[in-house]
Amino acid sequence: MRFEDTYLKILILAFVCLFGVDPGLSIAGKESPLAVKETSEQTVATDVQTQKSVDEWAVEEEQLLKKIDQNERALKRVAWEQRKTGEYLSTIEEKMVQLKEMVAEMEKINAELLPMLDWGLEKLTTFVKDDIPFDKAARLKRIENAAQTLKDYDMNLLAKTRALFDAVARERDFGYSVDIKETEIEIEGRPVRVNLLKVGRVRLCALTMDCEDGYVWNAPEGGYAPVDESVRAIDEAVQIAERIRIVELTKLPMGRPEKVSGAKAVANE
């Protein structure tokens, strides 16, 4: 019996070594419950891991597709910008040529016109200084402001031309206006309070506050000359200017017209 048992064990061991099968299973002809359970659990775990990998790849695939779409749109945008930049460059080159021509023309105009503006302002200043003494300080101040504009390097030609033309226009309007103001003038070396009446540039008259004495500006002598017979006419003109009296013809002392020559003649032109 011992020999047979020993022989049987040897056969079983040889079978196991040859076929790698559990002799207990071979003999039984089926797997054990524990092995089936382990196999099932491994299969389920493998399926879960596979599905997880598939889901992760789907998300990554969607992100990659979005990036591809974004890159395609970016490439189209870059291509459009390159084409548009080429069009802009061609038009910019044309504009640069035009601007260079304009700059050359402006430099030529500046070289010719700027000296004329300075010359015109000098003549206007001389004219105002020699003109009737009515608001002369304010008028010269306006001319000085125009001179500052002409001296400013940063001011363009248009601004400088406008400054001079504005000063000339103000002096032109001054020659057509009738104004009156209360002020002091010097009569025979003493100050006298008067109503000063300006009728354009034709005549500058003065009437004392008591309406007793009248004076007219005498340009050749550079002072006021008294008038006797025209005091009433000056008084009437003052009342008309102050709108106290209705407008009517008034005979003011005129005198002979002055002969205009030199700088004053040029300024008048």
Per-residue pLDDT tens for 71-113?
988 898 888 888 888 888 888 888 888 888 888 888 888 788 8
The 10s digit of each residue's pLDDT in 237-254 is 888 877 765 555 455 565
Taking the CA atoms of residue 212, residue 218, residue 222 and residue 225 in that order, the dihedral angle to the nearest 10 degrees is -30
CB atoms within 10 A of CB 187: 17
The residues near 149 (Cβ < 8 Å, ≥ 6 apart) are 155, 159, 160, 163
Mean pLDDT check: name the lowest of 12-21, 65-74, 193-202, 206-215: 12-21
184: β partners? 193
Q: In what order do the strands lie in the sheet with 214-218?
A: 178-187, 190-199, 203-208, 214-218, 223-227
Which residues is 190 bridged to in the sheet?
187
Report whether 234 contacts 242 (CB < 8 A): no
Read off the pLDDT of residues 154-170 as tens digits, 9 standing for 90 and up: 998 889 999 999 999 99
Cβ contacts of residue 215 below 8 Å, gap of 6+? 185, 187, 194, 205, 206, 207, 224, 225, 226, 227
How many Cβ atoms from other residues are within 10 Å of residue 175's Cβ? 13
Domain ranges across the chain: 1-27, 178-269
Does residue 1 carry a pLDDT above 50?
no
DSSP state of 155: S
Residue 132 and residue 201 in contact, taking contact as beta carbons nearer than 8 Å:
yes
More confident residue, 256 or 181: 181
Query: Which letter, b or e, does each residue of 137-170 get, where b requires 16 or more Cβ atoms within 10 Å of its Cβ?
Result: eebeebbeebbebbeeeeeeeeebbebbeebbee
What pTM was computed for the model? 0.55
Residue pLDDT, tens place only, 4-63: 455 455 555 555 455 444 444 444 445 577 776 677 777 777 777 777 777 778 888 888
* Cα angle 207, 212, 216; round to 5: 35
